[in-house]
Structure 1
């Protein structure tokens, strides 16, 4: 039988003893358009937690995860985290959530406790105690764009995304790169998070005459866009490329709506590396074959908790200044292989895949770019 994650947000901080427990606020979306990746995020983090506790935990203390719903308004999330830090209920925070939530958390955590951000994002953040294990456009999207221009001959692009910091900054990076490579950007379109009707966006894409689309949409929004895109039969004319599309989003979108959809990511459930296969086997053995599918988004939470444990244990302290100093020459082993941190960001291999019926066909590893 699989184990169903508890999705409550009421936290009983009285049961955490700082002498015996290392408490991590695990922030991931339990609600909202991004909530469909919540169950796999929680279980992935729990697997890493159990692996740490099977050894010596963190600093000889048992690791406890305090689930916090990162799908709510960023200010609400930040307020909850601040209250927990102020009463000494958290030793660290980690998780996969939007850049809007991350930006609200940085003033709360900076210099106080370590914060491991596991999601792909727009890049560029450097704050005391912030450690990023997810992908950035320079290593993820740019090599994928180069491949699609070179191998598929796609030169006229549209960019669609949700209207917040990650899509907007990423679209700017993508647009500059395409222009410098001699390609064109015919349309840039942003929609509020929670948009269900993408008919106007899809109509604009059709009018633009583009032959490729970069999709920077979250969860349910991405599924709605791809369904509308396919219904308009644009999938026979335009390829789509996304950095944020996991197996759960693929299933929500529907097989008939993912023709010629490409995804660039540091992890796929079908990735046949020894480390990935080992992770998949452990996850299935622990939670059962009917547990949520673990794609790149949920799996990133395993990476984040594993990274946090190894970094703090190596430093012998959770002091932010000590962790900052150690992280400049730090590597760790996770389900994505042996990874190294550079300037507060983990550098990792990136793979390009094409959507299949129920999962992704990994085409190969993309040529790495110069680190940030």
Structure 2
């Protein structure tokens, strides 16, 4: 259907695949991602579109198996039904999609991720460990005296590589990984994991869990009383997970991100006001993951406008140093990664209290 629509509208429309999770453990993020991307499209089209063409999103469910997602995106690109790809999805999906695209169209990956991606045509808007994880571990050691960590993650590329990076940072600052556990995506029973957490003697848990898995862990962690003595930090936990976990399960829980709904900056507050004005008070929860999809659409548009082209070689040639204003403030592209401010926040019931910029 996307192909026939694109052909019917001709060259006046630029179709962009939006790959976001609509099912599975990360499905909790889908509505926010879709709304924020739609807001970006509205603003871009109101400003003349992209190189004289109306921008249109083609949704792709990124919550399925990575191979299923990759096959659909490949089919869309091969048919000429989309001229770009963006969206928030887990690294396992990116690892399957990127080789299929193979630089034929630009691909803006918006999730925070483990770092190291350099395939042609791939641009990355999310936080990386050098901006997010390392500075946070430094803060915990210097401010809270936390040096002993147990790592609990889902079993795929992002948690495993992030755990390796965290261990390297901790060795550098004299910290210790007391234990390390990885569970299948979709895990809801953490009883065995919690027994090992308690036995490990750690000061804090590094949570590398996605969506519903993080919710289940938070509830079980608090129910076991571990929140009395052990802190939790996750680099991927936002307002949806906080709400779903419940206020009784968020004591001692912290996160870091480039954007929060309650971030008191002029750009952040303006974005939130625009979002709720457009979608109403019952809009999907605004959060860093959803905002990242706004960022991905904006970034590709800015690159296309600067290059005067939608072709990957032209966009790559002008990418370095591209800067623009976004809900995250002034952001700049370096080595095809978006350089941005990252903030540390602590849970206060069902909201995030931003403590400081890292």
TM bucket by the smaller chain? over 0.9
User: Does 1:13 pair with 2:3?
Assistant: yes
Of Structure 1 and Structure 2, which has the larger fraction of its residues in helix?
A: 2
Deviation at 1:13, TM superposition (A): 2.5
SS at match of 2:236: coil
SS at match of 1:19: helix
1:204 to 185, 196, 201: 196
What residue ranges of structure 2 are gaps of 5+ in the alignment?
none
What secondary structure is seen at the aligned counterpart in 2 of 1:304?
helix
Measured in 2, the distance between the counterparts of 1:81 and 1:60 equals 25
The equivalent residue for 1:346 is: 338
Partner of 2:187: 195
Moved over 6 A (4+): none
For 2:163 and 2:130, how far apart are their aligned partners in 1?
Answer: 12
Tell me the equivalent position of 2:236: 244
Partner residue, 1:222 = 214
CA positional deviation for 1:313:
1.0
The Cα shift of 1:332 comes to 1.7
Q: Distance in 2 between matches of 1:21 and 1:167?
A: 38
> Are 1:149 and 2:141 counterparts?
yes
Tell me the residue number matched to 1:307: 299
The answer to whether residue 62 in structure 2 is matched with residue 62 in structure 1 is no
Partner of 1:234: 226
Shift of the alpha carbon at 1:12?
A: 3.5
State the shift of 1:181 in Å. Answer: 0.9
Q: Secondary structure at the match of 1:52?
A: helix
Which of 307, 312, 332 is residue 324 of structure 2 equivalent to?
332
Q: Paired residue for 1:6?
A: none
Q: 2:264 and 2:98 mapped to 1: Cα distance?
A: 36
Does the aligned pair in 2 maintain the 1:353–1:363 contact within 8 Å?
A: yes
SS in 1 for 2:25: coil
TM-score, scaled relative to structure 1: 0.95
Q: Is the 8 A contact 1:110 1:130 kept in 2?
A: no
Residue 295 in structure 1 maps to residue 287 in structure 2:
yes
Aligned twin of 1:4: none
Residue 40 of structure 1: which of 32, 45, 58 is its match?
Answer: 32
CA shift, 1:120, in A, is 0.2
**Equivalents in 1 of 2:38, 2:58: separation in Å?**
11
Tell me, in whole angstroms, the C-alpha distance in 2 between the residues paired with 1:250 and 1:232: 18
Q: In angstroms, what is the RMSD of aligned CA positions?
A: 0.8
Q: Report the secondary structure of 1:34's partner residue.
A: helix
1:108 aligns with 100
2:3 & 2:148 partners in 1: Cα distance?
A: 54
For 2:324 and 2:85, how far apart are their aligned partners in 1?
A: 19
What's the counterpart of residue 79 of structure 1? 71
Give the Cα separation in 1 of the matches to 2:103 and 2:353: 42
